[in-house]
Amino acid sequence: MSSESSNLPMREIPGGYGLPFIGAIKDRLDYFYNQGPEKFFQSRAQKYKSTVFRSNMPPGPFIASNPKVIVLLDAKSFPILFDVTKVEKRNVFTGTFMPSTKLTGGYRVLSYLDPSEARHTQLKTFLFFLLKSRSSYVIPEFHSTYTALFESLEKGIAEEGKAGFGNANDQAGFNFLCRMLYGTNPPETSLGTDGPSIIQKWLLFQIAPIKALGLPKFLEDPTIHTFPLPPFLIKKDYKRLYDFFYKSTGFALDEAVSLGIPREEACHNLLFTTCFNSFGGIKIFFPTIVKWVASAGVELQARLVEEIRSAVKSNGGKVTIAAVEKMSLMKSVIYEALRIEPPVPLQYAKAKTDLVIESHENAFKVKKGEMLFGYQPFATKDPKIFENPDKFVPDRFVGEGEKLLQYVLWSNGPETEGPTLANKQCAGKDLVVLFSRLLVVELFLRYDSFQVQIGHSALGASVTFTSLKKATS
């Protein structure tokens, strides 16, 4: 944590930035290619014997004017990033650079706003209204969209012996979100089934500077990590998405206007929240869930089958929030996946004043205006907090284990706290936890067990189902 003083030994923040320009490029090449993120942070933490140190973060030149950050890699220093009385979250959603607002209709959308900005309060109020007014649609719309997904996977396995989860999940996820949030089924509109592919292109324009796409480095680095992709190339596609949202979200836009938000600005925000925050989240996190559940073996699958089916049975055969709440192993499995592989691993914030930050061992002085950066997987796998931190322990958060939920940080805040108008915690936190639980519930109501092959993709795991054994009880 942090304050103005500390009882721990003071230490100068170790590390550094190297020569201007060259240092930033060297760190960028290490981060993406020579080492990869995990080794990049681990090797520096070892070298400096500290979980807090200075480094550059990508992209650096010529996209970010200042790549210098203070890296936080433990569960004690990390939460300073959530304390908006001490840090500013203005324009830091993607890190040391901000994508052109031409990609979001000319607006700085909610994710880039600091809570001190009046528009942050208005837009978050608007989203809370939307989420509340549509909450009763989550369970039924999830069931119907993911039933269609499972049917298509079964067909794929019957015909070809295997079925990829990625594209099917993108389609199901987008349809689920639009049906649940707006009552619109995209395939029945002029957008058809093009939503996910357009969104992925649009996402690429925003996050290419901070991703390795798997192309050779001599091609990738001097291009997408050095210059932003020109927004005009995606303008037509974006307009198609925007028109779809404008037509689908009328009832919500009326409410936005009554809250003082212009209709167009509200619509660009709904597009962003649905396509970047929510679709992006489902795209990354659902394969992660399947991967970890599969990797834990058949015994876990059998225990989940037993727990989920008996809770639903004793609830009159219905999946409800109350029935889901009783599934303590399943709930722990989701928290454990969020802990071991947080879907959004990078968080940034700027010191608002001079600060003292504490790791487990030391206290460090930070100057006003310095950029703080946390690599979340190190905070949520901090060996001082979690036993066997690198192991997926399905029942880690059952019973007494619930006390550890304060250290689960995927939502840009502790799992024991919730989003408010005054903080930057994920507005969709409860929805995310619910739809993630529903994925596992639907899987084990329908199947006794499943098998997958795991590969890598630019955004998370690539999962292919090779077997889906239909429920026998």
Binding residues: 426
With CA atoms as reference, report the closest residue to 57 among 20, 21, 95, 92. 95
Closer of 169 and 278 to ligand HEM (Cβ): 278
Closer of 333 and 363 to ligand HEM (Cβ): 333
Cα angle value 340/344/345 (rounded, 5°):
60
With CA atoms as reference, report the closest residue to 60 among 231, 229, 227. 227
Q: Give least dist CB 274 to ligand HEM, A.
A: 7
With CA atoms as reference, report the closest residue to 198 among 94, 105, 276, 145. 276
Q: List the interface residues with ligand HEM, window 200-259 (CB under 6 A).
A: none
d(CA 407, CA 130): 29
Kindly report the backbone phi and psi dihedral angles of residue 11, in degrees, each rounded to the nearest multiple of 5, phi listed first: -140, 140
Q: List the interface residues with ligand HEM, window 4-43 (CB under 6 A).
A: none
According to CB under 6 A, which one of 55, 428, 459, 461 is a site residue for ligand HEM? 428
d(CA 313, CA 128): 32
CB-based closest residue to ligand HEM = 281
8 exposure class (CB count in 10 Å sphere: 0-12, 13-18, 19+): middle
Residue 110 sits in the site that holds ligand HEM (CB under 6 A) = yes
Stretch that binds ligand HEM, among 70-78, 120-128, 188-196, 225-233 (CB under 6 A): 120-128
According to CB under 6 A, which one of 111, 288, 301, 380 is a site residue for ligand HEM? 111
With CA atoms as reference, report the closest residue to 27 among 208, 228, 223, 210. 210
Stretch that binds ligand HEM, among 63-71, 200-208, 343-351, 449-457 (CB under 6 A): 343-351
Please report which residue ranges of 365-427 form alpha helices under DSSP H: 376-379
Residue 344 sits in the site that holds ligand HEM (CB under 6 A) = yes
228 touches 99 (CB < 8 A) = yes
Stretch that binds ligand HEM, among 12-20, 157-165, 257-265, 406-414 (CB under 6 A): 406-414
29 touches 217 (CB < 8 A) = yes
Q: List the interface residues with ligand HEM, window 144-183 (CB under 6 A).
A: none
- Binding site for heme, by residue number, is 426
Residue type (1 letter), 234: I
Closer of 57 and 127 to ligand HEM (Cβ): 127
The edge-to-edge listing of strands for the beta sheet with 52-56 is 52-56, 68-72, 371-375, 346-351, 87-88
According to CB under 6 A, which one of 375, 386, 410, 447 is a site residue for ligand HEM? 410
Residue 108 sits in the site that holds ligand HEM (CB under 6 A) = no
Residue 347 sits in the site that holds ligand HEM (CB under 6 A) = yes
Residue 380 sits in the site that holds ligand HEM (CB under 6 A) = no
Residue 93 sits in the site that holds ligand HEM (CB under 6 A) = yes
Whether a cis peptide bond, with omega within 30° of 0, leads into 126 is: no
Stretch that binds ligand HEM, among 198-206, 220-228, 277-285, 447-455 (CB under 6 A): 277-285
Residues that bind ligand HEM (CB under 6 A): 89, 93, 110-111, 113, 120, 124, 127, 273, 277-278, 281, 285, 343-344, 347, 410-412, 424, 426-428, 431-432
